[in-house]
Structure 1
Amino acid sequence: MRRIPKFLAAAVPLLLTGLVPLAPTAAAAAPACAAVSVPAPAGAKIESVQAERKTDAGTPAYCRITVTLTHSGSDHVKVVVALPETGWTGRLQAVGGSAYAAGNFGEPLLQAVRDGYSGVTTDAGVSSDALDTSWAVTADGKVDKTLLTNFATRSVHEEAQIGKDVTQRHYHRPITYSYWNGCSTGGRQGYSEAQNFADDFDGILANAPAVQWTQFAVATLWPQIVMNQDHDILSNCVLTAFRQAAIQACDARDGVTNGIVDRPDECSYDPRSLVGTKILCEGKEVTVTATDAEVMRKIWAGPTDERGRKLWDGLPKGADFAYLAGTEPNPADGTLTAPGFKVAVLWVQSFLEKQPGFDTSKLTYGQFADLFRQSVREYDNVIGTADPDLSAFRRSGGKLLTFVGADDQLIPPGGTLQYRERVERTMGGSQRVNDFYRLFLAPGVEHCGGGAGAQPANALGALVDWVEHGKAPATLAAATLDGKATRDLCAYPKVSRYTGHGDPAVASSYRCR
């Protein structure tokens, strides 16, 4: 039996209640900005629905409808739907969050309105501060399972349901297409939807996704562990010297010298080559030691267990160190400290140790490995977001598009590449997977954007063309932030390579290989 298109299926309940005209009608005035009746998602109760007409600077007038719901009576989840007063395209765009925030009520939501989408986002009942996990541990020292479930999977699904219901009741006509748009945690949320709720979205744009969360969230603490356990806290200028040396050694491997290591995983630079080099650090000359080089080798190699077996990928060679391995002086005596990546520190403190004040700087190599295993054991089924079986999403006709920066220090690209390879093994190889899931590597690009490399100019537009017109993107047009260089990013497993002739700052000088 042929499947009913998603946008028609979504319209059926409204047709039955008389909210959708059975035939096209003449253009009508903008709908009144008023609260609408919202069905409660399964297992939830609607607490309130409020509407407010908004005229934010630079954004066309829109109706902001806020739905508050609860699951336990103690959680209070806010879902906001932003509905353009005029110019609605019939599309819905759900917006994701970052770190420990489940959504974004600011610029991304307003941009959706400007582009003619009805926009929706949620706070999952947790803090809107991306680095606040005060909600995680209850007064009796246990993880709040209701809020964690909201943050991990449930609230994104409810965001989709409520966004569709509110939009269709407000405009009195069905949504034609629904899209997810997120990066980082928002990328993980998009993958969660593809894995768990295959019919929620026609298209999912999920960049730099924090998939395989339970490994990534501990693994990124590794630089702090190494420096503290090896009793060698590298100054930021020494870290920078190692980074620059790796770029210099591996930059030209792709045929272009542009300050970018296209494939950090293929860079064989040995940090021991810098031993004995003198570096000027804040007016003082320091000499790189063999211990410094060994610390750097471990950080690049990635975390291992007690027997030296690799647990996860390390920091990409050529990427910045500031967030994962950056150091700072102790205010008391000026000695250097390694504070650790905040997202990883919070995961260990709140969800593994259940002690918000736990000092991660004292962790030994053995304790780190134990925490890595504990994270996977306790939470993989909750927030791992690592199920490689996307069969239901493929059957639904959904399309998944992702780009990751090769210089991403916050979520090193190895986790996404590993996940993609598992999907291919599960679902019949690269060609079959590319029919519905396309991954693009962006050399020199950092987390969700930034860096020296060319980044996609309109990835969402490419996804819309794929979903609505069947134009699967073989490449994504990309440009550097300063506009001085362009490059077409290639669908995995192909990569963009310089042809050996032509201006290396122009996209036409590259081919997918």
Structure 2
Amino acid sequence: MTNNRANGPGRMGRATLVAGLIAGLGTMPGWAVEIAADSAAGWCESLSGFAYPDLRIDSTELRLDEMSGETSLPPHCVLTGYMEERKGVDDVAFSTGFELRLPLDWNERFYFQGGGGTDGSIRPAVGTNTAGQPPALTMGYAVVSTDAGHTGSDGRDASFGLDPKARIDWGYNSLDLVTGVSKSLLQSAYDMAPRYSYLVGASNGGRQGLTAAQRFANHFDGIIAGAPIISQSRGHVATAWDLAAMAEIAPRDAEGRPLLSEAYSQADTDLIFAEMIAQCDGHDGLEDGIIDLPLRCQYDPSPIVCEGEKTDSCITAVQAEAFVKVHEGARNAAGEQLYAPFPYDPGSDFRRWKLGTATEWPNNNPRATNTSIRYVFMTPPDPDFDSFAFDFETDPATLEGSAEFSSANSPNMDAFRFAGGKVIVYHGTGDQGVSAIDTVDWYDAMIERYGSAEAVQDFARLYLMPGVGHVSGGTGPELFDGLDALVAWVEDGVAPGHLPVSGGTPDRERLLCVYPAETRYDAASAAFICE
């Protein structure tokens, strides 16, 4: 791992040790390295001369007064660099770009900020945290972010997939490159390596976290992986499955193209979710209009199916069938599951992912606008492929090759576990883009591999978040301090228990239960507990 405790604080050089062993280890930094203000400009500029294989440092800049949203950032140096610059397929320029922010008052910790979508841009490396928590840079972490090996027009531009190396860079290689150069830069800048290294990310950033644990076991001491897209190649089978199900019942425009947003009216979805609450609310022991155990919900929409003409107080039989179909998950003609089912959760982002808002062609939901299946996940890539024409008998095989560089669903965490790494995984059960059940299945596979839930909980803990959509949003409480819990686990050996979480609609406080424990209402104490 990256822990250098045995070597002490090291030779300080330009850096001055301002807080040493007096505070000990803890969730708050017990030590720090401070760069003197009168020498900070020269210190930052000097980093432009750092030499490293296949690296070009593009810029260094000292920032003393910067805001991130409404948050004031501490004085820090921003370094931008590019690695492995090259010309690829069709003479397109590729490189792995990154931004590393080095605070003048450093807590001797490294923080890799996970990406999102298909990446393609260098996001400000402020240390994006779990919902409601301050950026890691404000707490003294040195933070890096990366474009994952390519430049895109936006976070959904997947055209880089035409280049074989760019696929691998995006899948895992850029993660390795940027981690290595960042730690070397920190060694040069502060005259010491980071004592601890963390990766925090969600969605694709969550996948990066589990990829790091499975491929690069010694890179990070602690990882937070939110809503991880761990089976991304098979997840695109679900994309096509949802499109087919919605297109079958959606009205058509004048040219016969399906308008997915109109497959269900708002009144339809309101009715569906109200009936879902009526059927599944009480599973947690309290009927309060909230489903806190979505995984136990076996929803049957038949009570609200119209017996006659369609009205706002009922849905059609085909609407009911399609809703169940997308939740049961993609299957082939033999009934074999091609991707995990989705939980029945009334706080889900169903409209966003399955329908969208466009009232004319083209559809604008993420399923319809996603081009990754054509460029990145089909082998060979097929830029002209129509996801609406996906063949569930033959086309899934074309996605298998991409699993080699993109999947992070292996239950083999032996090396990470042996190295002492810790990982916190969280996933909203209302996520209609990436199934929380897929994450549960992966975790259950680890329980089978290591013999018990307790054995897995020694290094990996899973938290399910009812009512929360993809990464965040929805109606469920989502505000929790994952980073402090992870740091306490890594540095103090205090494993996280059931974590307090707040927020949601209505605003409420609950406990995030360590899987496989579940939320239950205890009438005796008039409170929710985990058991």
The residue that corresponds to 1:88 in the other structure is 106
Select the residue among 323, 330, 353 that pairs with 2:352.
Answer: 323
TM-score (ref. length: structure 1) = 0.85
The residue that corresponds to 2:305 in the other structure is 275
Shift of 1:330: 5.2
Select the residue among 371, 375, 382 that pairs with 1:346.
Answer: 371
Closer/same/farther in 2, CA of residues 458 and 294 from structure 1, 3 Å limit: same
Closer/same/farther in 2, CA of residues 28 and 207 from structure 1, 3 Å limit: closer
Contact 2:356 2:364 in 1 (8 A): yes
Secondary structure of the residue that 1:104 maps to in structure 2? coil
Aligned residue pair count: 482
The residue that corresponds to 1:79 in the other structure is 98
The residue that corresponds to 1:34 in the other structure is 45
TM-score (ref. length: structure 2) = 0.82
Shift of 1:223: 1.7
Closer/same/farther in 2, CA of residues 290 and 24 from structure 1, 3 Å limit: closer
The residue that corresponds to 2:254 in the other structure is none
Deviations 1:255-302 (A, max 9, x none): 23344322323212212222117999xxx8585222222112211211
Q: How does 1:110-509 map to 2 (within 5 A)?
A: 111-127=135-151, 129-137=154-162, 144-229=163-248, 234-237=263-266, 238-276=268-306, 288-318=315-345, 319-328=348-357, 331=360, 341-342=366-367, 345-351=370-376, 352=378, 354-363=381-390, 367-375=391-399, 377-481=400-504, 484-503=507-526, 509=527
Secondary structure of the residue that 2:106 maps to in structure 1? coil
Select the residue among 56, 60, 70 that pairs with 2:74.
Answer: 60
Identity %: 27
CA distance in 2, matches of 1:33, 1:111: 21
CA distance in 2, matches of 1:153, 1:195: 10
CA distance in 2, matches of 1:255, 1:184: 32
Q: Alpha carbon RMSD of aligned pairs, Å? A: 3.1
Secondary structure of the residue that 1:78 maps to in structure 2? strand
The residue that corresponds to 1:140 in the other structure is none
Closer/same/farther in 2, CA of residues 433 and 156 from structure 1, 3 Å limit: same
Shift of 1:317: 1.1
Counterpart amino acid of residue 101 in structure 1: D
The residue that corresponds to 1:7 in the other structure is 4
Counterpart amino acid of residue 66 in structure 1: T
Counterpart amino acid of residue 82 in structure 2: T
Contact 2:221 2:490 in 1 (8 A): yes
The residue that corresponds to 1:141 in the other structure is none
CA distance in 2, matches of 1:427, 1:112: 33
Closer/same/farther in 2, CA of residues 343 and 64 from structure 1, 3 Å limit: farther
List structure 1 segments (4+ residues) > 6 angstroms apart after TM superposition: 9-12, 17-27, 277-280
CA distance in 1, matches of 2:98, 2:272: 45
Alignment of 1:510 with 2:520, yes or no, is: no
Shift of 1:135: 2.1
Contact 2:99 2:125 in 1 (8 A): no
Shift of 1:168: 2.1
Shift of 1:171: 1.7
Alignment of 1:50 with 2:68, yes or no, is: no
Shift of 1:381: 1.2
**Structure 1: 5+ residue runs without aligned partners?**
138-143, 504-508
Contact 2:125 2:145 in 1 (8 A): no
CA distance in 2, matches of 1:122, 1:9: 30
Contact 1:224 1:338 in 2 (8 A): no
**Structure 2: 5+ residue runs without aligned partners?**
21-32, 88-92, 129-133, 252-259
CA distance in 1, matches of 2:452, 2:14: 44
Deviations 1:368-424 (A, max 9, x none): 34222321x211111111221111111111111111111111212011111111122
Deviation larger for 227-236 or 449-458: 227-236
Secondary structure of the residue that 1:322 maps to in structure 2? helix
Deviation larger for 31-40 or 413-422: 31-40
